[in-house]
Structures are given as structure tokens and as C-alpha cells.
């Protein structure tokens, strides 16, 4: 079972620090999903890239468990935490952009006060 202690015994890679959650899984999922969200315009192409990103992140989590660096539960927790962070941040940025975006009026309308227009 996963925990805050060390990873499983017999690891195939050197590990240090706590096992929970998997930092590799967090970093992989946050990075690839953030790149897709930031760089690929919305639409079918983004969906394909997002699926590829999730597959990559799942493979990273699975590899950490396979190598014995983390318990499977630790790798899954890292994966879910990373995906959550990427999606929450993307949503917050989108909401902030919508809230603070000001419609710009044409230059002629901005320079003439409304009382002077007749």
C-alpha cells in the first residue's frame, strides 16, 4: 500500500524522499496538458493532442510503478494531482481573461466625450 514513507522495496531505480505522490507523474501530467492548452487552438486538433498528452502522462505514472520507484497508488495520485492542477489553472486563467478583458472602442469614439457628440 502507498503511504508517506518510502517506495516499494526492490526498486529498479534510485529514489530519495517520500513516495507519495509521485513527483514525476505530477510534472509529466502538468507539463504536457499545460502545453496542449496553451499552444493548440480549441477544436478537434486540441482533442487529439490532449488524448496523446494524457496517454503520455499515464505511461509515465505506470513506468514509475513498474520500476518500483512508487506504489501504484502514489503514481495515480500524482497523475490525478497534475491533471487537476493543469485544468484548474487553465480555468482560472480563462476566467480572469474574460473578466478583465475590456472591449475597445474605436479611437474616434474614445477621444470625443459623449456630451459633445450631436
pTM, two decimal places: 0.63
Q: Which tens digits make up the pLDDT trace of 48-75? A: 999 999 998 899 888 888 888 777 888 8
* pLDDT > 70 in the chain, percent: 69
> According to the model, what pLDDT value does residue 106 have?
60
Torsion angle defined by CA atoms of residues 30, 48, 60 and 34, in that order, rounded to the nearest 10 degrees? -10
pLDDT of residue 116 exceeding 60: no
> According to the model, what pLDDT value does residue 3 have?
46
Residue-wise over 97-106: b if at least 16 C-beta within 10 A, else e? eeeeeeeeee
Domain ranges of the chain: 23-97
Give the residue with greater pLDDT, 108 vs 54: 54
> According to the model, what pLDDT value does residue 51 have?
93
What would the mean pLDDT of 22-41 be, rounded to a whole number? 86
Return the SS3 of 86. Answer: helix
Distance between CA atoms of residues 115 and 64, nearest Å? 68
- Residue 70 φ then ψ, to 5°: -145, 155
Give the residue with greater pLDDT, 14 vs 90: 90
Amino acid at each position: 500500500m502507498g503511504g508517506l514513507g518510502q517506495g516499494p522495496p526492490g526498486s529498479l531505480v534510485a529514489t530519495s524522499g517520500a513516495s507519495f505522490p509521485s513527483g514525476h507523474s505530477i510534472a509529466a501530467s502538468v507539463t504536457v496538458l499545460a502545453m496542449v492548452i496553451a499552444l493548440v487552438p480549441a477544436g478537434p486538433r486540441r482533442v487529439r493532442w490532449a488524448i496523446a498528452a494524457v496517454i503520455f502522462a499515464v505511461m509515465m505514472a505506470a513506468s514509475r510503478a513498474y520500476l518500483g520507484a512508487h506504489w501504484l497508488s502514489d503514481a495515480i495520485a500524482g497523475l490525478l494531482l497534475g491533471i487537476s492542477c493543469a485544468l484548474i489553472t487553465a480555468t482560472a486563467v480563462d476566467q480572469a481573461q474574460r473578466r478583465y478583458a475590456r472591449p475597445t472602442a474605436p479611437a474616434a469614439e474614445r477621444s470625443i466625450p459623449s456630451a459633445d457628440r450631436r
